A = this chain, B = another copy of it.
Amino acid sequence: MKISEVSEQSGLSVDTLRYYEKVGLLPPITRTNGGIREYTEADIKRIDFIKCMRTAGLPVDVLTEYFALVEQGDETIEARKEILQTQRTRLVAMIAELQDTLALLNSKIEGYEDALLQAEQELTDSY
């Protein structure tokens, strides 16, 4: 798969894909004779995982560290697990916070609905 196709499919820009490779978030992608990147299925899967974690606010350098550990093989399983657990804790806290914010937003919106309703009422009353 060529870079433009991967970009299309993943929603990440070609610049971002090359940037991810530069900072070690993606492995060195294999090339055709002419030097053009050819993404494998495994690369695509990794990109999906990265995308998911990035939208959850997991920083690029944490992910880079994680993949570096993956490269190092089975001895790093414990360390990798810890990284993921730390991020899980962060995520759980974040979801809770977002839900609080959502509740606040809902009550604000409701407040505005009441205000609008009342304004309308007053308009009607003036007849």
Contact = CB atoms under 8 A, between A and B. Distances in A.
Contact of A97 (B56, B74, B99, B108): B56
Q: How many copies does the complex hold?
A: 2
Size class of A's contact patch? 20 to 34
A80 interface: yes
Interface stretch (A8-16, A18-26, A30-38, A113-121): A113-121
B101 A52 contact: yes
Interface string A70-97: 0000100110110011011001101101
A55 B101 contact: yes
Given A55-B101, A77-B119, 4 more contacts: A56-B97, A77-B115, A81-B116, A95-B99
